[in-house]
Amino acid sequence: MNLVLLGAPGAGKGTVAQELVAEFGVAHISTGDLLRAAVKGGTELGIQAKKYMDAGELVPDQLVIDLVKERLAADDAQQGFILDGFPRNTAQAVTLDSKLSAMGREIDCALLVDVAPEVIIDRLSSRRTCRACGYTGTAADATCPKCAGEMYQRDDDKPETIKNRLDVYEKSTSPLVDYYRGQGLLKSVNGDQARETVYGDVKEALGL
């Protein structure tokens, strides 16, 4: 299973990926997680990426491609992978196809988790993240249910930044839907349903 997950920020791609990883053991490659780790580690890439992320803008292609290439070469990605948050535009998709081809690999499916923008704004603006362990919860979580750490609202989960992220997504990333449809690789599920229902639809779409 070599899968590209598509959908706007907050559509639920990360949740779908976690469930697929838990059941099928493939590598979950989230560019958001890779970038946040680089920022937290204070690497040169992380410092460059932070100014874009804080403004809700896309990190430049070359920075992301370098991170993803390195991750795809890791041992745990050899049996299959789920790309979450990459590619973000058709230029990155073409580059990804080229890099994978050179590695003797290819994308099996591009899965779109489809959710209306107004649902996403409401969903993300109520999201809270644990400073200590990274657990994602809601505004109802006074402390982290996993480690009792402090919960906070990430800068990119504030309503004004979310609107900017959705605008950027619409301009840059939504053409990927047409790109993968043209390759005959696109499948789509409705992400505005109960978690179990969405995952059931995902497995059906992927033939699992």
Catalytic residue among 154, 158, 181, 203: 154
* Three-state DSSP state, 110: strand
Of 88, 123, 128, 187, the active-site residue reads 88
CA atoms within 13 A on the CB side of 125: 15
What are 26-57's pLDDT values in tens digits?
999 988 888 888 888 888 888 888 888 888 88
**Marked catalytic residue, from 71, 123, 127, 187:** 127
pLDDT per position as a tens digit, 151-166: 999 888 888 888 888 8
Query: 13 catalytic, yes or no?
Result: yes
The whole-number pLDDT of residue 160 equals: 84
pLDDT attached to residue 33? 84
Both structure tokens of 60: 């430049």
What tens digit of pLDDT does each residue of 102-137 get? 888 999 999 999 998 888 888 888 889 999 998 989
Q: For 166-192, give the DSSP string.
A: HHHIIIIITHHHHHHHHTT-EEEEE-S
* pLDDT value at residue 202: 95
Q: Average per-residue pLDDT in the chain?
A: 89
Specify burial of residue 24 (Cβ count, 10 A radius: 0-12, 13-18, 19+): middle
Length of the chain: 208
Place of tokens 């803008």: 57
Catalytic residue from among 71, 123, 128, 165: 165
Tell whether omega for the bond before 117 is within 30 degrees of 0, i.e. cis: no
* DSSP 8-state secondary structure symbol assigned to residue 143: B
Give the span between the Cα atoms of 12 and 160, in whole angstroms: 20
* DSSP code, position 75: G
The confidence band for 65, taking pLDDT boundaries of 50, 70 and 90, is confident
pTM for the model: 0.75
Would residue 165 show up in a list of annotated catalytic residues for this protein?
Answer: yes
Rounded to whole angstroms, the Cα distance separating 62 from 54 reads 18
Which is higher by pLDDT, 178 or 45? 178
